[in-house]
Amino acid sequence: MSHDTLYEVHDPRFRSLIIENARLEQLHTGCRWAEGPVWFADANQLLFSDIPNQRMLRWEPDGGVSVFRAPSNFANGNTRDRQGRLVTCEHGTRCVTRTEPDGTITVLADSFAGKRLNSPNDVIVRSDGSVWFTDPTYGILSDYEGYKAEPEQGARNVYRLDPETGELTAVAGDFRQPNGLAFSPDESTLYIADSAASHDETAPRHIRAFDVVDGKTLENGRVFASIDKGIPDGMRVDTEGNVWSSAADGVHCFAPDGRLLGKILVPETVANLTFGGPRRNRLFITATTSLYALYVTATGAQRP
């Protein structure tokens, strides 16, 4: 293994994914817990959440950072649907919302089996329009990043929302604290982080992989990779199927076979990341108080 102040190379293949002389840029700081980065190519801007500050922020290449939405209902993970609409997990309202083009907000899901969700954490949209999200209890543990409450659900599920019927289905129910999630480029595999070690040293700190069957159900769950520093939270997949995961010491990059290729070392604990910029080759990293960016050779997967 070799490393400098920015990279740890665990496998020679990592060198083809990074730019040796690129530098980590701190684009913004002053957040309490930065999360949920989502790139809007059409608007040339990045939206992200600052959960305890009750804000969503907007970063623009020339304009710096401004407030996009406040209060944000303790918004956490964000993504876009097939029509480009913003989809957001809210701890405060314990729901997943969609922001319409005119700015009105539609609740997509707030309950399952007649009981309130825990606190939706992160969300992705498949090419068929289905919305997949995780529902750990982080947002109801205290009044810091949501409103303290007892969970009503008997499990911390991963859900799929059907785009046609609006029906919510639990697709995985055996996670301690499901968190970030991402599809492989062909959407045949779904990666889901279990970050339960955040509150219990002996609990999982790994990413599991599942086969996606008929675009609707999950099978063959297995541990894909474990995080050796901190926990996995948000993650993204590049065009080659490599998995880029958040961790305490930065961003860990895993090959599709689960091998650790290398790390980008970030001075603050990383909660989430996304590929953005006009060429999708700029990694935007939300890390505790700051938003960082780094140009890489890899490009974010544009799913079918």
**Site residues for Mg ion per CB under 5 A:** 121-122, 179, 233
Nearer Cβ to Mg ion (194/238) = 194
Q: Which of the 8 DSSP states describes residue 300?
A: B
CB of 152 to Mg ion, least distance (A): 21
CB of 272 to Mg ion, least distance (A): 6
- CA pair distance 139, 100, nearest whole angstrom: 24
Nearer Cβ to Mg ion (49/130) = 49
Closest-CA residue to 78 (of 91, 64, 66, 62) = 91
Nearer Cβ to Mg ion (121/269) = 121
- CA pair distance 172, 155, nearest whole angstrom: 10
Give 280's Cβ-side CA count (13 Å radius): 14
Nearer Cβ to Mg ion (77/151) = 77
CB of 36 to Mg ion, least distance (A): 8
Nearer Cβ to Mg ion (233/268) = 233
Q: 24: which residues sit within 8 A by CB, 6+ positions away?
A: 6, 264, 266, 292, 293, 294
Nearer Cβ to Mg ion (130/179) = 179
Look up residue 200 and give its two tokens. 């219990």
Q: What phi, psi does 231 have (nearest 5°)?
A: -130, 155
DSSP string, 4-54: -SSEEESSGGGGGTB-TT---EEEEE--SSEEEEEEETTTTEEEEEETTTT
Angular region, 117: left φ>0, alpha ψ -120 to 50, beta rest: beta
- CA pair distance 288, 268, nearest whole angstrom: 6
CB of 183 to Mg ion, least distance (A): 16
